[in-house]
């Protein structure tokens, strides 16, 4: 790590590589931001593919790296993992810390247009532009082989950033994503405050709308637990399924019987998702991924 603008806070040996935590000043968010990274052992010898994880509501840069078990499979495939925080922190904005589903820990991976949020809550620019540029300049990342995945709010983020920027990502997947945030209570609350009351401005952050309007055909992999307490009111995977069916968009939607919304679900199918991304990212020796 050679970028003097990035401050290392923790380092841990893990599966032959390193888990590291960093803090840096974000121009996009106009405040310090944090991220975690797993550098596989192959990164000691050259550039490796990079896979971004976008976490869900209430999470930080720590949840995924501590709970998912992804490092084991990333080490096997030689894939770098990067997990940013889910929002700016400690800005003392009115209402910022009043609820779990808005403000701190709930940036929704969009660029806010409404005051006071628009001065800092610009997570879309952060995860699409600023953070990848920082990773490319600081770590041995093969930027031509980049993927993105996430969970819940982060699944929404992964789908929307990939659908809007198919030239940047070679693979995308999601665990229990918010598929139609403009129709869900979580999404309506966040979008109305961050983006305003004009719902036409919300559509560029709606996966079920974007699949209908994009010319790209970047395949989507989505896993959804059938015992997820949020599936009906908040996640609505059938809205994404319906939209993809209407325009013949490539979607693999797997309903996993008995699984809930937790990291027990995520960790169970993490191996599948890493194999899926490894195949799409052209990892040598990775078997072509097929539906199990």
Beta strands at 17-26 and 6-14: parallel, antiparallel or unpaired: antiparallel
Confirm whether 97 is a catalytic residue. Answer: no
Beta strands at 17-26 and 80-84: parallel, antiparallel or unpaired: unpaired
Tokens, residue 238: 């059938």
Catalytic residue among 85, 142, 223, 228: 228
> Cβ(218)–Cβ(169) under 8 Å?
yes
Confirm whether 261 is a catalytic residue. Answer: yes
Catalytic residue among 36, 68, 104, 152: 152
Confirm whether 228 is a catalytic residue. Answer: yes
CA pair distance 168, 61, nearest whole angstrom: 22
Query: What backbone torsions phi and psi does residue 156 show, to the nearest 5 degrees?
Result: -55, -45
Helices (H), the chain: 63-67, 70-77, 123-125, 131-138, 153-164, 185-195, 207-213, 237-247, 263-280
Angle between helices 263-280 and 70-77 (to 10 degrees): 10
Residue linked to tokens 């997990």: 83
CA pair distance 159, 252, nearest whole angstrom: 13
Neighbouring CB atoms inside 10 A of 270's CB total: 23
Tokens, residue 47: 């550039």
Catalytic residue among 120, 151, 209, 261: 261
> Cβ(194)–Cβ(244) under 8 Å?
no
- Would you name the residues annotated as active-site residues? 152, 228, 261
């Amino acid at each position: 790590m050679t970028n003097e603008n990035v401050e290392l806070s923790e380092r841990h040996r893990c599966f032959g590589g390193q888990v590291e935590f960093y803090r840096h000043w974000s121009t996009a968010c106009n405040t310090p931001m944090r991220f975690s990274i797993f550098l596989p052992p192959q990164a000691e010898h050259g550039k490796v593919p990079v896979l971004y994880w976008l976490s869900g509501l209430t999470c930080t840069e720590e949840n995924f790296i501590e709970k998912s078990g992804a490092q084991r499979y990333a080490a096997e495939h030689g894939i770098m993992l990067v997990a940013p925080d889910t929002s700016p922190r400690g800005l003392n904005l009115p209402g910022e810390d009043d609820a779990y589903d808005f403000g701190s820990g709930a940036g929704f991976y969009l660029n806010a247009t409404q005051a006071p949020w628009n001065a800092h809550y610009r997570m879309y620019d952060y995860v699409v532009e600023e953070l990848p540029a920082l990773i490319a300049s600081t770590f041995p990342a093969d930027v031509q082989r980049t993927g993105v995945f996430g969970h819940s709010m982060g699944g929404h983020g992964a789908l929307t950033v990939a659908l809007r920027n198919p030239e940047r990502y070679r693979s995308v997947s999601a665990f229990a994503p918010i598929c139609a945030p403009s129709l869900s209570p979580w999404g309506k609350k966040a979008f109305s405050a961050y983006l305003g009351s004009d719902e036409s401005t919300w559509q560029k952050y709606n996966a079920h709308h974007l699949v209908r309007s994009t010319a790209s055909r970047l395949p989507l992999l989505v896993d959804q637990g059938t015992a997820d307490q949020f599936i009906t009111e908040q996640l609505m995977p059938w809205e994404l399924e319906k939209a993809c069916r209407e325009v013949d968009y490539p979607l693999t939607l797997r309903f996993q019987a008995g699984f809930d919304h937790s990291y027990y679900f995520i960790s169970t199918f993490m191996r599948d998702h890493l194999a899926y991304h490894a195949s799409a990212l052209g990892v040598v020796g990775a078997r072509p991924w097929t539906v199990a």
